[in-house]
Amino acid sequence: MKKTPKVIVTNSSLGSVEVEQGTERQVTVDLDMRSPEDLDWNVSQEENVIAITCRMRNAWGWPSYLFTSRPKANIHVLVPHEADVEIENRAGRIAIIGIKGTISAESSAGSIGTQDCEGSIRIRTKAGSISLRNVKGTVTGHSSAGSITFAGTLSKAENWFKSSLGSIDVTLGSDADLTIEASTNLGSIRCIPQLADVRYERGRQVGRIGAGTGKLFVETNLGSITIHS
């Protein structure tokens, strides 16, 4: 049986990373580079694992690069619908579209967006927002300094949305079956409609949608929380 492809992208230069559904039988990589003479890049494959790396040759030049936007590498990858994806991007946005599998994405300074994805999804950004649209599965989203927006279906496992300096907006489907724990230090918590069996435990608002089989934890320090169902 053919193994599911796994794509690992590591971009430590300036630039964006986009991974989206393409043809069913191949992985296609496109690198759009500015000042390529100042970049080291490599694309390799070992069995079902495709690794794409790009970095600046002179790491000490980071301060000047931020002002000139050079060198820069925008990485665009087309993968089969079913694929595992692991992305690490230093300074730029990440977009993942139409993928089913195990998905991990981390950015030091950029927003992260996923759309029409399904599976086990872990998203983290230090300085940017997170947008998850039409997503289905077990989801973890963590932003240190940005908002989080989710619309989709969460699994009956444990799901997390956490922001240090941003609001969180969660829209769930009509078949949601979750126990929800929500907390904010400076902000409001709104649930539309109101959760069932609401109570307060250790500064958290706890309630359920449906039978409450799965778990959803929503936390922010400086922002509001809104949950739609």
What is the domain range of residue 183?
Answer: 158-229
pTM of the model: 0.92
- Residues 110-134 have a mean pLDDT of 97
Are 178 and 197 in contact, with CB atoms under 8 Å apart? no
Beta strand 178-184 pairing with 204-209: antiparallel
Q: Is residue 136 part of a domain?
A: no
For 80, list phi and psi in degrees, rounded to 5. -60, 160
User: What is the radius of gyration, based on Cα positions, of the chain?
Assistant: 19
Residue type at 65 in one-letter notation: Y
Residues 87 and 6 in one domain: yes
10-46 pLDDT tens trace: 999 889 999 999 988 899 999 998 888 888 999 999 9
Among 107, 128, 149, the domain boundary falls at 128
- The H or E element spanning position 12 is strand 6-14
Q: Is residue 201 part of a domain?
A: yes
Residues 124 and 163 in one domain: no
β-partners of residue 88 are 10, 106
Residues 114 and 215 in one domain: no
- Residues 83-111 have a mean pLDDT of 96
What pLDDT, on the 0 to 100 scale, is given for residue 159? 98
Q: Is residue 65 part of a domain?
A: yes
Residues 85 and 184 in one domain: no
**In sequence order, what are the residues at sequence separation of 6 or more whose Cβ sits closer than 8 angstroms to the Cβ of residue 94?**
16, 17, 18, 87, 105, 107, 110, 111, 112, 113
202-215 pLDDT tens trace: 778 999 999 999 99
Q: Is residue 144 part of a domain?
A: no
Residue type at 124 in one-letter notation: R
Q: Is the dihedral of CA 124, 94, 103, 148 positive or negative?
A: positive
Q: Is residue 213 part of a domain?
A: yes
Among 112, 128, 144, the domain boundary falls at 128
Work out the widest C-alpha separation in the chain, in whole angstroms: 62
What pLDDT, on the 0 to 100 scale, is given for residue 62? 52
193: helix, strand or coil: coil
Q: Is residue 143 part of a domain?
A: no
Beta strands in 108-213 (DSSP E): 112-115, 118-125, 130-143, 148-154, 158-163, 168-172, 178-184, 189-192, 196-201, 204-209
Q: Domain total for the chain?
A: 2
Residues 122 and 203 in one domain: no
Residues 29 and 82 in one domain: yes
Residues 122 and 162 in one domain: no
Residues 33 and 120 in one domain: yes
β-partners of residue 130 are 112, 148
Q: Is residue 84 part of a domain?
A: yes
73-85 pLDDT tens trace: 999 999 999 999 9
43-67 pLDDT tens trace: 999 999 999 999 888 765 555 555 5
How far apart CA 2 and CA 24 sit, in angstroms, is: 12
Residue with tokens 């665009």: 76
What pLDDT, on the 0 to 100 scale, is given for residue 120? 98
Among 90, 112, 128, the domain boundary falls at 128
Residues 104 and 167 in one domain: no
Q: Is residue 152 part of a domain?
A: no
Residues 169 and 107 in one domain: no
163-182 pLDDT tens trace: 999 999 999 988 899 999 99
Residues 182 and 114 in one domain: no
Beta strand 112-115 pairing with 118-125: unpaired
